[in-house]
Chain A
Amino acid sequence: MGEILLDVNDLKTRFRSRGKLIHAVNGVSFHVNRGETLGVVGESGCGKSVTMLSLLQLLPPAAQIESGTALFNRQDLIKMNFRQIQKVRGGKVGMIFQDPMTCLNPVLKIGDQVGEALIYHRRVTKEVALARAIELLRLVGIPDPEQRVKDYPHQFSGGMRQRAMIAMALACEPDLIIADEPTTALDVTIQAQIVELVKDLRDRLGVAIIWITHDLSLVAGLADRIMVMYAGLIVEEAKTEDIFDDPRHPYTLGLLSALPAFQAEKKVRRLASIPGSPPDLRAQPISCPFVPRCPFAFERCHSEVPVLMPIKGGEGSGHRIACFADTREWRAKA
Chain B
Amino acid sequence: MASSSTTDTNSVPVLPAKEEKAIGIWQDSFGRLMKNRMAVLSIIIVLIMFFFAIFGPFLTPYDFLKQDLSIRSQPPSSEHWLGTDYLGRDVLSRVIYGARTATLVSLLVVVLSSFIGIVVGSISGYFGGKIDFFLMWFTDLNMAFPNLVLGVVLAVSLRPPLSRWMEQMYLSTANPGFRQSSLLDLALVVTVIVLVAWCPYARVLRSQVMAVRNHNYVLAARALGLSTFTIVVKYIIPNAIGPVIVQMSAGMGSAMLTESAFSFLGIGINPPIPSWGNMINESLRQWTSAPHLLAAPALVLGLMTVSFSFLGDGLNDALNPRQWKG
Contacts and interface: CB of A to CB of B under 8 A. Distances in A.
A121 B225 contact: yes
A102 B215 contact: yes
Interface string B202-233: 00000000000001110111111111001000
Contacts of A61: 128-129
Interface residues of A, number: 43
A193 B226 contact: no
A282 to B, nearest CB: 24
Interface centre among B25, B216, B224 (most CB of A within 10 A): B224
A109 B26 CA distance: 12
B6 A97 contact: no
Contacts of B35: none
B239 A107 contact: yes
A109 B224 contact: no
Contact of A106 (B25, B129, B223, B225): B25
Contacts of A107: 24-26, 238-239
Contacts of B22: 109, 150-152, 155
Contacts of A90: 223-226
Contact of B230 (A120, A151, A193): A120
Contacts, number: 105
Given A103-B217, A105-B235, A139 B2 contact: yes
Contacts of A94: 223-224
Contacts of A138: 3
Contact of A117 (B215, B217, B225): B225
A99 interface: yes
B10 to A, nearest CB: 15
A95 B217 CA distance: 12
Contacts of B1: 141
A86 B223 CA distance: 8
B184 to A, nearest CB: 41
A95 B220 contact: yes
Given A139-B2, A200-B2, A200-B5, A104 B225 contact: no
A197 B224 contact: no
Nearest to B5: A196
Contacts of B215: 102
A132 interface: no
B323 interface: no
B302 to A, nearest CB: 36
Contact of B226 (A106, A117, A165): A117
B8 to A, nearest CB: 10
A91 interface: yes
Contacts of B25: 106-107, 152
Given A58-B219, A109-B22, A117-B224, 15 more contacts: A86-B227, A89-B223, A89-B224, A90-B226, A91-B225, A94-B224, A102-B215, A105-B239, A116-B224, A139-B2, A143-B3, A143-B7, A150-B22, A155-B22, A196-B5
